[in-house]
């Protein structure tokens, strides 16, 4: 299966009346930024559009929510995360149709992921859509929907959404990208490129950013909201996690863990563990960094980061996960101790393979 064209996808969206967007769990700036931009544009075009979510939105991403998000937990009868009162107000005792105007969207659109396993609690709603589209940039994603646009060369799904909105502007002969939508796309690209420093950054990332600045996007205000806006609990969690970090593989790997107990001790939420893996990767000599997080379901979520040559998507896929070459993740259904042991072994092995490659090439 190959990709559809932007023309085909925009034509399909144009003929639809309702669209549900499905970003992955643990939304990052790209997942929510891309979904927010597309949702805003679709509403401008008079469509019923909602972002369905199943977990908490990180504090620094709240500004991208814009009243577009519906938490599906209450429809399942329980509030598992987030502001229970707010969610209850929105959805308790109501059906999906009560809140969104439809229970079966014309289009269900998977965004910034390529697998319904990334949104378990929403997969039935996704499957129930009349038609499905996938927009993604993860190299490990396979086309699985009726229409797909998966571009591993795109630094962020935000770049794909930008192209799609430009195409929709042509179809409708209308300006769609305003300051708010532009801010969401800029945030998506800024976060997924690590502020235009990661190796996935291309001239296109910069060109789209430049276009958005010319449209009047206040990138500095977005950067302040995204980065200079963190809770003290997050800094304390970071400090505790770094304190217990272990360095191994001769200084080429770093790993730490965040347990539920550790989070409670500083009053932090799990999404505040964001950035710890990157901090470890910043260490001189470290090639692979691994953060192990104990989820509230007891399973371990591993976030892997590589600096130059290592391929952490390969390590993650060995454990049933995926992602990018330099940023990947997987869920480990085992104890923290087992996860630490197995990850240590997998990382050491991956680094040894790289060494062997080097010897052969020299």
Chain residues that interact with Mn ion, rule: CB under 5 A:
30, 112, 157, 192
Q: Which of 208, 203, 274, 205 is nearest to 238 (CA)?
A: 274
Q: Residue 10 or residue 157: which is nearer to Mn ion going by CB?
A: 157
Closer CB to Mn ion, residue 78 or residue 197? 197
Q: Which long-range contacts (CB under 8 A, 24 or more apart) does 208-211 make?
A: 208/158, 208/159, 208/162, 211/162
Least distance (Å) between residue 337 CB and Mn ion: 31
Nearer to Mn ion, 112 or 287 (CB): 112
CA 157-159-164 angle, 5° bins: 95
Compare residues 53 and 74 and give the one whose CB is closer to Mn ion. Answer: 53
- Smallest gap from residue 91 Cβ to Mn ion (A): 27
CB of 139 to Mn ion, least distance (A): 11
Q: Least CB distance from residue 184 to Mn ion, whole Å?
A: 13
- For Mn ion, give the closer residue by CB, 56 or 112: 112
Q: Can you spell out the DSSP letters for 203-234?
A: HHHHHHHHHHHHTT--HHHHHHHHHS---HHH
Which residue, 167 or 192, is less far from Mn ion as judged by CB?
A: 192
The β-bridge partners of 257 are 292
Comparing every residue's Cβ against Mn ion, the nearest one is 30
Q: Cβ of residue 86: shortest distance to Mn ion, in angstroms?
A: 27
CB atoms within 10 A of CB 249: 20
CA distance 259 to 267: 12
- Residue number with CB closer to Mn ion (34 or 91): 34
Nearer to Mn ion, 40 or 114 (CB): 114
Separation between Cα atoms, residue 83 and residue 20, nearest integer Å? 22
On whether the CB atoms of residues 31 and 154 are closer than 8 A, the answer is no
Provide, rounded to whole angstroms, the least separation between the CB of residue 188 and Mn ion. Answer: 7
Q: Whole-number minimum distance, CB 194 to Mn ion, in Å?
A: 12
Nearest-approach distance from CB 155 to Mn ion, in angstroms: 8
Measured between alpha carbons, how far is residue 330 from residues 113, 114, 290 in Å?
13, 14, 11
Residue 238, token pair as written in the block? 């970071």
Per the listing, tokens 């199943």 go with 54
Give me the residues paired with residue 53 across strands.
71
Closest CA to 192 of 321, 28, 23: 28
């Amino acid at each position: 299966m190959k990709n559809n064209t932007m023309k085909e996808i925009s034509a399909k969206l144009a003929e639809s009346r309702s669209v549900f967007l499905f970003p992955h769990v643990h939304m990052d700036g790209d997942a929510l930024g891309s979904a927010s931009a597309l949702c805003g544009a679709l509403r401008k075009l008079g469509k019923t559009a909602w972002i369905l979510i199943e977990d908490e939105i990180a504090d620094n991403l709240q500004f991208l929510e814009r009243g577009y998000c519906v938490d599906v937990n209450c429809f399942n009868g329980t509030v598992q995360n987030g502001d229970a009162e707010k969610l209850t107000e929105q959805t308790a005792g109501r059906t999906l149709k009560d809140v969104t105007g439809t229970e079966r969207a014309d289009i269900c659109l998977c965004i910034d992921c390529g697998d319904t396993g990334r949104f378990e609690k929403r997969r039935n709603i996704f499957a129930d859509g009349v038609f499905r589209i996938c927009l993604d940039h993860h190299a490990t994603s396979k086309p699985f929907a009726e229409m797909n646009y998966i571009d591993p060369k795109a630094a962020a799904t935000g770049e794909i959404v930008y192209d799609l909105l430009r195409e929709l502007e042509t179809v409708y002969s209308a300006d769609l990208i305003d300051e708010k939508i532009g801010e969401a796309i800029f945030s998506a690209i800024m976060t997924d490129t690590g502020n235009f420093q990661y190796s996935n950054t291309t001239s296109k990332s910069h060109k789209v950013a430049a276009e958005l600045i010319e449209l009047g996007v206040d990138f500095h205000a977005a950067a302040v909201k995204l980065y200079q806006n963190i809770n003290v609990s997050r800094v304390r969690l970071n400090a505790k996690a770094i304190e217990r970090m272990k360095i191994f593989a001769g200084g080429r790997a770093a790993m730490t863990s965040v347990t539920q107990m550790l989070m409670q001790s500083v009053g932090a939420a799990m999404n505040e563990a964001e950035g710890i893996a990157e901090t470890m990767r910043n260490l001189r000599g470290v090639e692979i960094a691994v953060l192990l997080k104990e989820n509230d379901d007891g399973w371990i979520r591993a976030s892997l980061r590589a600096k130059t040559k290592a391929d952490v998507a390969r390590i993650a896929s060995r454990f049933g996960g995926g992602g990018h070459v330099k940023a990947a993740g997987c869920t480990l259904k085992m104890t923290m101790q087992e996860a630490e042991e197995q990850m240590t072994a997998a990382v050491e092995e991956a680094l040894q393979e790289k060494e062997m490659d080097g010897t052969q090439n020299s």
